[in-house]
């Protein structure tokens, strides 16, 4: 006997948008191909943004960019409030970073991704004044023990106990930034394995969320747009995430104060992504999560992932 699972209208609408999300990240990744290792991050960012904008503009639904990367670095961007696609089509929200890990792409290091998240209209957090947030991300089995308000070392000890491992077996992703020097040193002194990519906290979060990922936790301060996109993936996979705004510059602090945003507030997944959503990414410079675009004979291959309610789709495509 075959059973079928009925979808809510919101889930059905987002399923219909999966090909658009995948096309957007794929085209952005292909546009970056000539810029991998070219030491020109601005041109790589511009190429990814242009390709993604063109793809989304041709869509049959009406997407509104709620939060995107670019403002803090004066980089090319899909700007907050920008509407793309058919004016009379069904509405949806967009959180986006056309090229996450711009420096990784520019220097040819692994980890750069083209990324986007779609969600029901009006369900993504409107916190574009924030550039950075402190994040704690882990798999569903750690949801009952993690708490961003306690010391990081406490979360590591709790995770080890919950997973039935020694602390030396706990793997944590922390971006290698000056702001994290004390955190990294403390976690290593505890005995944990600390993975320190220079950029790319979405990839780090996915490493902690996916069953075959290379990490158990993501800790530390990263981009706010990446945090909102990560929340869409966390919600879809049933993982754990908490965050709080963590301004790193004076202009950001002033913007948060003017907008009435509280840096002591703890954001749960539902605060960042309160409705159905999906996340898509395509590899740009390669890495353990996704391979970068590669040319073989007359074909160009791409490696992508789509995460939506309860499922992870890995998609490899070849284009002549």
Report the alpha-carbon distance of residue 198 to residue 234 in Å, rounded: 22
* pLDDT tens track for 166-176: 999 999 999 99
Exposure on the CB side of residue 96, measured as CA atoms within 13 A:
32
**What would the two tokens of residue 102 be?**
């711009």
The dihedral built from the CA positions of residue 215, 217, 223 and 229, taken in this order, carries a sign that is positive
320 pLDDT band, cuts 50/70/90, is: confident
| pLDDT score for 57 | 97
DSSP 8-state code for residue 89: S
The dihedral built from the CA positions of residue 164, 168, 169 and 174, taken in this order, carries a sign that is positive
| pLDDT score for 6 | 55
Tell me how far CA of residue 203 lies from CA of 36, 80, 233, 260, in angstroms.
18, 23, 11, 30
Question: In CATH terms, is domain 132-272 a member of 3.40.190.90?
Answer: yes
- The closest alpha carbon to 77, from 100, 51, 97, belongs to 97
* pLDDT tens track for 4-56: 445 556 566 788 999 999 999 999 999 999 999 999 999 999 999 999 999 99
- The closest alpha carbon to 55, from 91, 19, 81, belongs to 19
Report the alpha-carbon distance of residue 182 to residue 213 in Å, rounded: 25
What is the C-alpha end-to-end distance of the chain, expressed in Å?
41
* pLDDT tens track for 73-97: 555 679 899 999 999 999 999 999 9
Specify the CATH superfamily of domain 9-122+277-319. Fructose-1,6-Bisphosphatase, subunit A, domain 1 (3.30.540.10)
Tell me how far CA of residue 232 lies from CA of 25, 178, 262, in angstroms.
16, 28, 22
* CB neighbour list of residue 257: distance below 8 Å, 6 or more residues apart: none
The dihedral built from the CA positions of residue 312, 305, 315 and 17, taken in this order, carries a sign that is positive
291 pLDDT band, cuts 50/70/90, is: very high
Q: Where are the domains of the chain?
A: 9-122+277-319, 132-272
Report the alpha-carbon distance of residue 268 to residue 317 in Å, rounded: 35
DSSP string, 180-242: GHHHHHHHHHHT-EEE--SS-HHHHHHHHHSTT-S-SEEEEEEEHHHHHHHHHHHHHHT-EEE
Residue the block writes with tokens 């990839």: 203
* CB neighbour list of residue 140: distance below 8 Å, 6 or more residues apart: 237, 238, 239, 240
Are 275 and 120 within 8 A, CB to CB? yes
* pLDDT tens track for 269-283: 999 999 999 999 999
pTM: 0.93
Which letter, b or e, does each residue of 204-227 get, where b requires 16 or more Cβ atoms within 10 Å of its Cβ?
Answer: bbbbbbbeebbbbbbbbbbbbbbb
């Amino acid at each position: 006997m075959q059973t079928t699972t009925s979808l809510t209208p919101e889930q059905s609408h987002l399923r219909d948008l999966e090909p658009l999300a995948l096309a957007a990240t794929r085209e952005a990744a292909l546009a970056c191909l000539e810029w991998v290792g070219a030491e020109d991050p601005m041109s790589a960012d511009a190429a990814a943004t242009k390709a993604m904008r063109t793809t989304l503009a041709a869509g049959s639904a009406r997407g509104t960019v709620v939060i995107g990367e670019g403002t803090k670095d004066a980089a090319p961007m899909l700007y907050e409030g920008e509407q793309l696609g058919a004016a009379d089509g069904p509405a949806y929200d967009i959180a986006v970073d056309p090229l996450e890990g711009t420096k990784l792409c520019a220097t040819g290091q692994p980890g750069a991704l083209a990324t986007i998240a779609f969600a029901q209209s009006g369900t993504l957090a409107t916190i574009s004044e924030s550039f950075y947030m402190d994040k704690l991300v882990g798999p569903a089995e750690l949801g009952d023990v993690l708490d961003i308000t306690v010391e990081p070392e406490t979360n590591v000890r709790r995770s080890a106990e919950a997973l039935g491992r020694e602390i030396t077996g706990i793997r944590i992703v922390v971006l290698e930034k000056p702001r994290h020097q004390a955190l990294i040193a403390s976690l290593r002194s505890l005995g944990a394995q600390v993975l320190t990519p220079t950029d790319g906290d979405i990839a780090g979060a996915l490493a902690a969320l996916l069953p075959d990922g290379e990490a158990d936790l993501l800790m530390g301060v990263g981009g706010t747009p990446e945090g909102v996109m990560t929340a869409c993936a966390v919600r879809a996979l049933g993982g754990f995430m908490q965050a709080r705004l963590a301004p790193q510059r004076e202009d950001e602090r002033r913007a948060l104060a003017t907008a009435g945003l509280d840096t002591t507030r703890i954001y749960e997944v539902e605060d960042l992504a309160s409705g159905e959503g999906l996340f898509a990414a395509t590899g740009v410079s390669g890495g353990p999560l996704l391979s970068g675009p590669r040319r073989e004979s007359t074909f160009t291959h791409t490696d992508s992932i789509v995460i939506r309610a309860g499922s992870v789709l890995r998609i490899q495509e070849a284009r002549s």
